[in-house]
Amino acid sequence: MMTSIETIRADFPILQRTVKDHPLAYLDNAASSQKPLAVLQAMDDYYRHTNANVHRGVHTLSEEATRLYEGARGRIGRFINAGSSKEIIFTRNATEAINLVAYSWGLDNLGPGDEVLITEMEHHANIVPWQLVCQRTGATLRYIPIDARGDLRLDLLDELLTERTRLFAFVAMSNVLGTINPTAQLVARAHTVGALALVDGAQSVPHMPVDVQALDCDFLVFSGHKMCGPTGIGVLYGRRDLLEQMPPFMGGGDMIREVHMDGSRWNSLPWKFEAGTPAIAEAIGLGAAVDYLSELGMPWVREQEHALVNYAVEKLSQVEGLRIIGPDGDQRGGVVAFTLDDIHPHDIAAILDSEGIAIRAGHHCAQPIHDHFGIVATARASFYFYNTFEEVDRLVAAMEKVQSVFSF
């Protein structure tokens, strides 16, 4: 479907606001996206008309809430083409989904001599849980390095991905470099050595078509708040046979079938992994978000961002003293991280904020990447389908202002 950007922007109330007397240019979408009216309304409607706990009551509201909650699960499953909604586990965010796999699968299946393979371009969310679980189990954590352009050193894959590797966990798209990794190919390589593959889809699911059956991945994680949905809801997709074998991550209500003083029996999938009252309104909000995205069409979303990022890379490269890290426009998602002269990224972001432009500055929870390039921090502009070429122009023009403030 093709709609004009103006119509789409009108769906997002926050995009009409001003910041420091300028129209807001929101270019921090990799951190969190804005929410369309459809999502706000779905959550508002739920609280106004349906609100009740799920899976428990026999009264009307509880039945309706359960239907909405489980309906959202089904729609989210179809959005990534999962074979069954039993494979969709609701978590708080991508981070919790990775921790679920690390603690449930990892503690049970890893031991001395085993290896977990990740990459140098991971978000801390896909590093620290593995460091913790490897420490506890005696397994070894290995990293695929990145090259000077910001691509994975796939020439080292044979050396690093071996029959000792039990799990290969990697990011589909880097939140700093924008690198889009050859996900299906990497999953297939993991499977040839008998390893499982976990895909960190926090930056891919919001921005491009993702089909878990085509990827053939064992686990995929993502966060609702980066894809037009609310905070507090994320997803673990897991292959059904694996999830069946894994022990619960957290214990409590909802995840059990029977509880006795001497032990308990677990509920079936997906509820085995959803202890306690879940984020019901948030799940419903995420359901509305995937409907919204499906209506736009994910191939269109990707195309739109591709055009924006190509334009941004081209324009920013012309700014003297500006250095972009990461691959060329074509193999890049909608993210541009850069440095400008030796101006600290915090100072860049603060000046941009005074122009109404929101970007992020820092290490973006990916310190190893910054270590690799020998820098402590970068400024990062990241796009979503509702951004415009004019906003890119404003970003580029603001670089001159930054340079004039900090010229010596």
Partner 1 sequence: MDQLYREAILDHYRYPRHKGHLDDPDVSYHDHNPFCGDEITLELNIEDGVVVDAAFDGRGCAISQASASMMTEEIIGKPLEELRGWTKDDILELLGIEIGPVRLKCALLPLKALKAGVWGIEDWPHEE
Residue range at the interface with partner 1 (CB under 8 A); choices 28-36, 159-167, 304-312, 346-354: 346-354
Q: Going residue by residue from 28 to 47, which x/- string records binding to ligand PLP, judged by CB under 6 A?
A: --x-----------------
CA distance 49 to 14: 25
* CB neighbour list of residue 361: distance below 8 Å, 6 or more residues apart: 344, 345, 346, 348, 349, 377, 378, 379, 380
Residue range at the interface with ligand PLP (CB under 6 A); choices 35-43, 118-126, 210-218, 250-258: 118-126
Partner residues linked to 324 by β-bridges: 338
Pick the closest to residue 103 from 63, 64, 80, 131 (CA basis): 131
CA distance 21 to 17: 9
Partner residues linked to 220 by β-bridges: 199, 237
| Least distance to partner 1, CB of residue 277, Å | 30
Residue among 54, 133, 202, 290 that touches ligand PLP (CB under 6 A): 202
Rounded to 10°, the helix 298-317/389-406 angle is 30
Binding flag, residue 181, ligand PLP (CB under 6 A): no
Residue range at the interface with partner 1 (CB under 8 A); choices 69-77, 156-164, 166-174, 357-365: 357-365
Binding flag, residue 311, partner 1 (CB under 8 A): no
Q: Which is nearer to partner 1, 268 or 404 (CB)?
A: 404
- β-pairing, 165-171 vs 115-119, is parallel
Answer with the entry of ligand PLP, partner 1, none that 171 interacts with (C-beta below 5 to 8 A by kind). Answer: ligand PLP
Q: Which of residues 368-387 bind partner 1 (CB under 8 A)?
A: 376-377
Residue among 33, 50, 66, 95 that touches ligand PLP (CB under 6 A): 95
Residue 297 falls in which region: left (phi positive, over 0), alpha (psi -120 to 50) or beta: left
User: How far is C-alpha 295 from the chain's CA centre?
Assistant: 20
Q: Which is nearer to partner 1, 15 or 398 (CB)?
A: 398
8 Å CB contact between 382 and 336: yes
Binding flag, residue 124, partner 1 (CB under 8 A): no
CA distance 406 to 342: 10
Answer with the entry of ligand PLP, partner 1, none that 95 interacts with (C-beta below 5 to 8 A by kind). Answer: ligand PLP
Q: Going residue by residue from 206 to 245, which x/- string records binding to ligand PLP, judged by CB under 6 A?
A: -----------------x----------------------
Partner residues linked to 332 by β-bridges: 179
Answer with the entry of partner 1, ligand PLP, none that 350 interacts with (C-beta below 5 to 8 A by kind). Answer: partner 1
Q: Which is nearer to partner 1, 109 or 354 (CB)?
A: 354
Binding flag, residue 405, partner 1 (CB under 8 A): yes
Binding flag, residue 345, partner 1 (CB under 8 A): yes
Active site residue 134: no
Cβ-count burial of 361 within 10 angstroms (0-12 exposed, 13-18 middle, 19+ buried)? Answer: buried
Answer with the entry of partner 1, ligand PLP, none that 376 interacts with (C-beta below 5 to 8 A by kind). Answer: partner 1
Question: Two tokens at 206?
Answer: 């919001």
CA distance 293 to 281: 18
Binding flag, residue 310, partner 1 (CB under 8 A): no
Interface positions with partner 1 (CB under 8 A): 344-347, 350-351, 354, 361-363, 376-377, 405-406, 408
Residues catalogued as catalytic = 365
